[in-house]
């Protein structure tokens, strides 16, 4: 199949065709594109531009890394179960403590800086209620990542520094399904980060002043 941009008459690669959300139609053996919603790989975006772009994508989930939109990989069933379980544990802990916070899963993003926006598997935002149409958390306190083969390196390295570069974030939780443990990184005094490794029991997250149980986060062995 040959695709042509009618405005320029240039052939388009199959990979670009897969990224076209609308305006793709056929004429004989050729396919034409009138409008493309996915920018070229070389296109750079600011955080604001990315959020506006991501909102109108018909399918797929993306993060903004160094100004470039990066597609997020599909997830296995256990990954989905784990992030749902920890989000539920956070929500129940918030309700029990009566703190002014909300738990989210697979939805809100975190603005790292002017050219980076990431989407944690789960997060807790505190303070004023998040506006209904907001795409990002205005005051994230807790962020959670469930480790997957495609994200392992970034979860333990780049995202560690990225998240703690956001002043409001106090806790970064990493759920490692393979080793059945939870890493708790907490912002300490004088710019230090304190790390604890948990396999069972309860975890105190203060602020905002909640406590979650690790029971139920991991599927039975």
Q: What architecture is the 77-213 domain classified under in CATH?
A: Alpha-Beta Complex (3.90)
pLDDT on residue 39? 43
pLDDT band per the 50, 70, 90 thresholds, residue 150:
confident
pLDDT tens column, 104-147: 999 999 999 999 999 999 999 999 999 999 999 999 999 999 99
pLDDT tens column, 11-51: 334 333 333 333 333 334 433 333 333 443 448 999 999 99
- Higher pLDDT: 98 or 41? It is 98
pLDDT on residue 105? 97
**Token pair 């944690």 is at which residue?**
120
pLDDT on residue 173? 98
Extents of the domains making up the chain: 1-38, 77-213
Position 8 pLDDT exceeds 70 = no
- Say whether 158 sits in a helix, a strand or coil: helix
**Token pair 């970064």 is at which residue?**
172
CA atoms within 13 A on the CB side of 114: 1
pLDDT on residue 24? 37
pLDDT tens column, 154-209: 899 999 999 999 999 999 999 999 999 999 999 999 989 999 999 999 999 999 99
Single out the residue of 185, 147, 187 nearest to residue 167, CA to CA.
187
């Amino acid at each position: 199949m040959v695709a042509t941009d009618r405005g320029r008459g240039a052939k388009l690669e199959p990979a670009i065709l897969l990224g076209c959300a609308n305006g793709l139609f056929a004429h004989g053996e050729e396919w034409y594109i009138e409008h493309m919603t996915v920018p070229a790989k070389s296109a750079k975006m600011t955080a604001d531009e990315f959020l506006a772009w991501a909102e109108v994508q018909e399918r797929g989930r993306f993060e903004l890394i160094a100004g470039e939109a990066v597609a997020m990989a599909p997830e296995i069933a256990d990954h989905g179960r784990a992030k749902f379980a920890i989000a539920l544990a956070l929500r129940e802990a918030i309700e029990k403590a009566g703190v002014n916070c909300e738990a989210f899963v697979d939805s809100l993003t975190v603005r790292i800086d002017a050219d980076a926006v990431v989407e944690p598997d789960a997060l807790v935002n505190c303070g004023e209620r998040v506006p209904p149409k907001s795409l990002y958390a205005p005051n994230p306190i807790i962020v959670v990542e469930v480790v997957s083969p495609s994200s392992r390196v970034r979860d333990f390295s780049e995202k560690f520094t990225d998240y703690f570069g956001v002043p409001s974030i106090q806790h970064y939780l990493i759920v490692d399904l393979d080793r059945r443990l939870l890493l708790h990184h907490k912002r300490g005094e004088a710019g230090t980060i304190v790390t604890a490794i948990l396999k069972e029991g309860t975890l105190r997250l203060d602020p905002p002043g909640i406590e979650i149980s690790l029971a139920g986060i991991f599927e039975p062995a």
